[in-house]
Structure 1
Amino acid sequence: MTTPEPPAPQPSEPVQDRAFRSPMGIAGGVFLLALAVVIGGDSILRGHGRTPWLALAALLMVIPVVVAFTIRPAVFAGTERLRIRNPFRTVTLPWGAVADVRAGDSSEALTQEGRTYQLWAIPVSLRQRKRAARQAARASQDDPHRRTSVTADVRDSKARTAPADQAVAELRELAERRGGLPECQGEPRVRWAYEVIAPAVAGLVLLVILSATG
């Protein structure tokens, strides 16, 4: 009597790609970039002597750094992997390499090898956590038959959770659900953001040279 062969594994259902970013960080970055361009541009156009060159070097150094810490950070959750874009490097983690995603004082992804990578794009806000806790307390006092005037958004579980904790919970669920799939295996990869580092270093070197020779 022959033993029936196990059914061939079916391809997993694709996951809709998700992108997590910090709206406040992006807004702050745009404001700082506009301020730097206005001040630096005025110095370049109206400055005398070495001032325009110093302003140009400062802009070359400042703009990449501002972009790196405000606009660049993002977390991309896909079908097979988690991609973390931090200020100066990009980390690609197949779901099988992710041991946990947690939010304490900051949001972090932990690998099976014990490495920890911060999620700059998902900042933890104690203020938002306190607000969510107040909403949860209000919801716990609501009438079980919902006969009070408490609004529906307070009863909604998402309204009672801080945005960072919601995002981390979604990423943790994806890691648990897809971590064992064959197509989600692999080694973590880290790539330095030379497109950000190079101009910032060049601007710093130029600024130092101009200041030293002035």
Structure 2
Amino acid sequence: MTTPEHQPNDPEPTRPPGSAAPRYQDRVYRSPAALVGGVLLLALIGWLGIDAVVTGEGRTPWLALATMLLLVPLVVAYTLRPAVYVNDERLRVRNPFRVIELPWGQVASLRSGFSNEVFDESGTKYQLWALPVSLRARNKAVRAETRAAAQAARAARAGSGSEGSGSGAGSGARASAGRGGLGPGGVPSGPKRAESDRAMDEMREMHELRQSEEAAQGEVTVRWAYEIAGPAVVGAVLLAVLLGVG
């Protein structure tokens, strides 16, 4: 599941002089399950690591510190860090070890399969780590949509059978159909979609609207997250040295 958030304090990307301001600040998509799992893992690593540092003997404290230095950045990278930022001008993908900025004019397509991905005009693929695909959520959404369609069909049959009974009965049938996710006349208010699929739909819509705008042109940029990779590499080297000399 993903959660869209509005970030009123996010810095706006640089815009060409005279270009129109975005209609809204960055909308952020993240996975609440990943955030909760990351916090729990960090708490567990901190508890075990600090206990080993305080009560351990010999090389144990150093091994605990090296292990924490290796694991903490990796947990942050794969759980707390991934996010997708969207505004009128560009799509910014923050993956575990890279940040990719794609102006809408450079986005070729957004595809959903066993993972959610964005392709730029050169054909390069970038996976959206913040929008994991849940087959369970998709199946649940399909079942909910099937139930809504069956309820709409029953409401339509009931409404047609009560047309001769007067406007009062018809109004009652329509009111009953309006409950449970159905719109007027027993028509479903909209297709049920998994959270990540809804996020992809919103981004596809934004892409269609903005890809030809002047403010949405530019080059794709990729930045490596050395602040994450650096400590993890140091921790791995330190751990290997400690184990090697043991």
TM-score, normalising length: structure 2: 0.79
- In the other structure, the counterpart of 2:230 is 198
- In the other structure, the counterpart of 1:29 is 38
- In the other structure, the counterpart of 1:6 is none
Classify 1:153/1:61 alpha carbon distance in 2 versus 1 (closer, same or farther; 3 Å): farther
Structure 1 stretch displaced more, 146-155 or 161-170: 146-155
User: 1:57·1:203 contact (CA, 8 Å) conserved in 2?
Assistant: yes
3-state SS of 2:176 partner = coil
The offset of 1:78, in angstroms, is 1.5
- In the other structure, the counterpart of 1:132 is 141
| Distance in 2 (alpha carbons) for counterparts of 1:27 and 1:153 | 33
- Give a deviation string over 1:97-119, Cα, whole Å, max 9, x none: 01111211101111111111000
Unaligned ranges ≥5, structure 1? 1-9
The offset of 1:148, in angstroms, is 4.5
Q: Which amino acid aligns with 1:172?
A: R
User: 1:103·1:164 contact (CA, 8 Å) conserved in 2?
Assistant: no
User: 1:92·1:190 contact (CA, 8 Å) conserved in 2?
Assistant: yes
3-state SS of 1:14 partner = coil
Q: Which amino acid aligns with 1:114?
A: G
- Percent identical among aligned pairs is 47
Q: Which of 176, 187, 190 does residue 157 from structure 1 map onto? A: 190
The offset of 1:176, in angstroms, is 1.1
- Give a deviation string over 1:14-49, Cα, whole Å, max 9, x none: 232200000000000000000000011100000000
The offset of 1:170, in angstroms, is 0.4
Residues 1:182 and 2:214 are matched in the alignment: yes
Residues 1:147 and 2:176 are matched in the alignment: yes
The offset of 1:152, in angstroms, is 2.7
User: 2:102·2:221 contact (CA, 8 Å) conserved in 1?
Assistant: yes
The offset of 1:133, in angstroms, is 0.2
Classify 1:12/1:139 alpha carbon distance in 2 versus 1 (closer, same or farther; 3 Å): farther
Classify 1:98/1:39 alpha carbon distance in 2 versus 1 (closer, same or farther; 3 Å): same
| Distance in 1 (alpha carbons) for counterparts of 2:29 and 2:225 | 19
Q: Which of 102, 106, 129 does residue 97 from structure 1 map onto? A: 106
Q: Which of 29, 38, 45 does residue 20 from structure 1 map onto? A: 29
| Distance in 2 (alpha carbons) for counterparts of 1:94 and 1:161 | 26
Q: Which amino acid aligns with 1:168?
A: M
- Give a deviation string over 1:109-136, Cα, whole Å, max 9, x none: 1111111100000111001001100110
Unaligned ranges ≥5, structure 2? 1-17, 157-173
| Distance in 2 (alpha carbons) for counterparts of 1:184 and 1:141 | 43
| Distance in 2 (alpha carbons) for counterparts of 1:41 and 1:118 | 35
CA RMSD of aligned residues (A): 1.8
| Distance in 1 (alpha carbons) for counterparts of 2:93 and 2:135 | 23
The offset of 1:161, in angstroms, is 0.5
| Distance in 2 (alpha carbons) for counterparts of 1:69 and 1:156 | 36
- In the other structure, the counterpart of 1:170 is 202
- Give a deviation string over 1:168-200, Cα, whole Å, max 9, x none: 000111111100011111111000000000000
| Distance in 1 (alpha carbons) for counterparts of 2:62 and 2:222 | 35
Classify 1:62/1:156 alpha carbon distance in 2 versus 1 (closer, same or farther; 3 Å): farther
The offset of 1:13, in angstroms, is 6.4
Q: Which amino acid aligns with 2:146?
A: A
| Distance in 2 (alpha carbons) for counterparts of 1:106 and 1:126 | 10
Q: Which has the larger radius of gyration?
A: 2
- In the other structure, the counterpart of 1:4 is none
- In the other structure, the counterpart of 2:86 is 77
User: 1:102·1:172 contact (CA, 8 Å) conserved in 2?
Assistant: no
